Amino acid sequence: MTKFICPICKEALSGEKSLVCPNRHCFDRAKGGYVNLLSGKGGNHGDPKDMVLARKSFLDKGFYEPLREDIAATVASVTPNDGAVLDCGCGECYYTHRIAELLPEAHIMGIDVSKDAVNYGCKRSKALDLAVASVYAMPVTDLSVDTAVSIFAPCALEEFVRVLKPEGHLVMAIGGENHLWSLKKAVYDTPYKNETADYELQGLEFVGKKELKYAIELSSAEDIKNLFSMTPYYHKTSREDIAKLDTLTCLTTEIEFEILIYKKVSA
Ligand SMILES: C[S@@+](CC[C@H](N)C(=O)[O-])C[C@H]1O[C@@H](n2cnc3c(N)ncnc32)[C@H](O)[C@@H]1O
Ligand SMILES: [Zn+2]
């Protein structure tokens, strides 16, 4: 059963192969099992297939497993056992899947604007309720989500506040100041550190953060390039700078994550 709502009239959806609302708006499930609920609002440009596959290949090698474990444990600690979790910008559900394993009785939803990403998410787990949709127009009822999750994905503050229950939480992951510093040094003449976050989010109370720091050793050009393609700077970097990675076959780089925990401010 899905908890997603009709993006046109906002009524509940029901059904298996086709999801239908009381006003007869109908959305067929794709072969993979997800449903496309893109409303046209919030942009339709998610990650293309090559980026999805690069990220999937990198993540499946376990380099970010410590982060995955910390995020899943954090989400499980703030979510009721039978609660509702929404991963906003879930990608191919590397983290979502683990959250579902730790919360087997909860209803775990994921949305991403990239069809390719969501399709791979369906392959990773059949236990997830997945839709193609934008985080800026979530097909989810007001005040219905116990925990929203946002991992390296666009921060849609108004929507988080709208969909969260009064006591709901947001768990967000961002890169720390020195995240991937050695990788950046290999690409840029003058690399910049990541800006430190402003932890204030209006409508949410900052509860705390966890920091995670370690190093990873990459021993193939493929892993190095896959990691670089996962970064937000990938699209802003010149071909000449990216080409510097062609000659690198091994690299040890810093990993620094911050897991930020927020609670909804009761009205
Ligand atoms: C860096 S990836 C992170 C994916 C996943 N959370 C992870 O860490 O593996 C960012 C994701 O946000 C998605 N995205 C970008 N804009 C979006 C939007 N407006 N609504 C929903 N997803 C979006 C992309 O398609 C991509 O899958
Ligand atoms: Zn409808």
* Location of structure tokens 């990788």: 183
* Structural domain span for residue 100: 18-264
Confidence band, pLDDT 50/70/90 cuts, at residue 197:
low
* 105, 135, 242, 259 from 81: Cα distances, Å: 6, 24, 45, 21
The closest alpha carbon to 125, from 154, 168, 161, 91, belongs to: 91
User: Cβ-count burial of 111 within 10 angstroms (0-12 exposed, 13-18 middle, 19+ buried)?
Assistant: buried
Q: Is residue 38 part of a domain?
A: yes
Nearest CA to ligand 1 atom 19: 134
Task: List, for residues 99-139, the tens digit of each pLDDT value.
Answer: 999 999 999 999 999 999 999 999 999 999 999 999 999 99
The minimum-distance atom of ligand 1 relative to the CA of 52 is 27
Q: Per-residue pLDDT for 42 more than 70?
A: no
Q: Is residue 81 part of a domain?
A: yes
- Kindly give the distance from the C-alpha atom of residue 174 to the centroid of ligand 1, in angstroms, as a whole number: 13
Task: Assess whether the C-beta atom of 116 lies below 6 angstroms from ligand 1.
Answer: no
137 phi/psi in degrees, rounded to 5: -150, 70
Q: Is residue 1 part of a domain?
A: no
| Residue from 113, 140, 151 to probe ligand 1 pocket by mutation (most atoms less than 8 Å from CB) | 113
Q: Is residue 179 part of a domain?
A: yes
Confidence band, pLDDT 50/70/90 cuts, at residue 41:
low
Q: Is residue 7 part of a domain?
A: no
Task: Assess whether the C-beta atom of 187 lies below 6 angstroms from ligand 1.
Answer: no
Number of domains the chain contains: 1
The minimum-distance atom of ligand 1 relative to the CA of 173 is 8
Q: Is residue 210 part of a domain?
A: yes
Task: Assess whether the C-beta atom of 153 lies below 6 angstroms from ligand 1.
Answer: yes
The closest alpha carbon to 87, from 3, 200, 9, 208, belongs to: 3
Task: List, for residues 205-230, the tens digit of each pLDDT value.
Answer: 999 999 999 999 999 999 999 999 99
Nearest CA to ligand 1 atom 8: 151
CATH of residue 109's domain is 3.40.50.150
Q: Is residue 174 part of a domain?
A: yes
Q: Is residue 152 part of a domain?
A: yes
